[in-house]
Amino acid sequence: MSDSNQGVLDAGSMPRDEARAGAQGGKTVHIPEIEKLELPDMSPISMFKHFGPGLLLMMTGIGTSHLVTAPVAGGTFSFALLWSVLLAYVMKYYGFQMSFRFTNATGKSVMDAMCTTKGKWAIWYVLFVTIAQCALGQASRVVATAAVLYFFFSEHLGWGLELWHYGVFVGVTACALVLSGQYKTLETVTKIFVILLVLTTLFVFFWNPPALSDFSFFIMPHPEFGYYPPGSLLILAAFLGLLPTGLDVALQSSEWGKAKKAGMPMLRKTLEEHGVAGKFDSFNPRAEDLTVHVNKLSPHGQEYCRRWFKIGNMDFAFGHWVSFVIASIFMMLAAMYLYPSDVKGRAVMGELARMFTESIGPGMMYVFILGALAATYSTAINYFDGWPRVVGACCRNLFRKTADLSGIEDPSPQAKKAWYSEHNIYRITIIYSLLASTAIIYGFERPVFLVLIASAMTLLFSPVIFYYMFKFCLNVIPKTDKIYYPGHLVRNFTWLCFVLFTAATLLVIYVKFF
């Protein structure tokens, strides 16, 4: 979005009452500042340049789950759990997609919609869970990156540093990058890491690909282990919880969608001023005030919103299925080169490097280090940004003083001074996440176990988030809007996935604890 476009959008030329009357009367609402906006180019290269929240979501997931959980599954149980990778991606597809759909259809965050729950209990629920994730969950992300550095510098080069030393280094540098940059910086770094990871992984995989018969295990049972190998429950829980990533990250992607300030999030304020959308008050929340009546806009305005909606969906779908390919490749490589092997401990990255060195040669270890560092470090960076954004969003919807000083990017002088502004709560949470996660790593240097536990914890509260994201789309987006409202097949399939996902979660809890 250009500055000139933003300036245009800040100016209104139609009286609000007249616009509202026109919208309620079914007439087209012409908004001159929207008519001046250039339609986004829909060519493949241009669309990729517009991508952002979906790639952030992908790289947030590609890291611990792909470089630790998937290889552990392949090294321990061969191809037996390959079916669970596909199942996790299919079941959670629309759980994530509803977050993108909601933000691109309303210009608001899912966190705003959670204000409409009774007593705002969903906001409180997310706040407490996210604070816990900032510690334990972030520790699992940081320790994965630290394990890459530990393998290369301490094991390969012989440096005398411990795993927690690298954890502190990763945490401090990642937080410094997040605190010093804006959303665009995060988006740019992520795109670079995406390209590095995909190229290195695909190169190794196609150098010596698995037999075609091995792909049958996406559907068929393994001849030795079947569908459910003994001792695989924690890995299955980790797959369901953290492939492609935890559903809590859908809340982060909704906040990233707002921060991108393109499409509906950029237009929301202007649409409110012209009566095309209600003015949502988180302290007097009404679901109908979240609704945007896109069909009241001119054809140009509708096409502008439709294109950005399509870009948002393509952004998510691209990231989701690329993530699936990468997860499947790492598991299959582990099954080919590591099985049978008990992949665990601080030397986990040394085990994984064997997949690259044994498939091509010793020099490929450096390719692995590059790809692994890109994956794990980008995950750590994105989580240091994403979870604090969610905490800030919770606070702006719970506390009036924070709401009066809302916004993370470009804070006002008053927001910079007040500790309770959303900007400063975001920054305080980043520091808390850094201190808590590195303290956990210092006292508990077991990367694989940390990742599996954090993944299982994510699974426990994911069904609640899945349900509400879907419910908000059904209740807020007008049913008459054929572009934004979920179609009949999508609704039925989403309900099916939600039921299966919830049942699988309850089954894991029952088997593990009862």
Q: What are the extents of the domains in the chain?
A: 54-513
Query: Of 330, 243, 321, 319, whose CA–CA distance to 67 is shortest?
Result: 330
Share of the chain above pLDDT 90, in %: 40
CA-to-CA distance for 176 and 245, rounded, in angstroms? Answer: 24
Q: What phi and psi, each to the nearest 5 degrees, are found at residue 29?
A: -100, 115
Q: What phi and psi, each to the nearest 5 degrees, are found at residue 292?
A: -115, 125
pLDDT at 63: 65
Q: What is the pLDDT of residues 177-222, one digit of tens each?
A: 888 865 567 667 766 776 776 787 788 888 889 999 999 999 999 9
Residue 138 CA, distance from chain mean position: 14
At the top level of CATH, which class does the domain 54-513 belong to? mainly alpha
CA-to-CA distance for 424 and 399, rounded, in angstroms? Answer: 14
How far is the CA of 483 from the CAs of 51, 52, 203, 399, in angstroms?
20, 21, 38, 35
Share of the chain above pLDDT 70, in %: 86
Q: What phi and psi, each to the nearest 5 degrees, are found at residue 297?
A: -80, 165
Mean pLDDT, residues 92-99 taken together: 92
Residue-by-residue DSSP string for 265-316? HHHHHHHHHTTSB----TTS--GGGG-B-GGGB-HHHHHHHHHHHHHHHHHH
- Cβ(96)–Cβ(57) below 8 Å: yes
- Cβ(424)–Cβ(416) below 8 Å: yes
CA-to-CA distance for 4 and 212, rounded, in angstroms? Answer: 54
Which residues lie closer than 8 Å to 487 by C-beta, 6 or more apart?
none
pLDDT band at 59 (very low <50, low <70, confident <90, very high): low
How far is the CA of 113 from the CAs of 123, 289, 291, 449, in angstroms?
9, 10, 10, 35
Task: Decide if pLDDT at 379 tops 60.
Answer: yes
The mean pLDDT of the chain is: 84
- Cβ(144)–Cβ(354) below 8 Å: no
Peptide bond into 244 cis (omega under 30): yes
CA-to-CA distance for 385 and 146, rounded, in angstroms? Answer: 18
- Cβ(29)–Cβ(14) below 8 Å: yes
The first and second tokens of residue 249, run together, are: 């990250």
Q: How many CB atoms lie within 10 A of CB 169?
A: 16
Mean pLDDT, residues 31-46 taken together: 87
- Cβ(344)–Cβ(35) below 8 Å: no
pLDDT at 488: 94
**DSSP label at 39?**
P
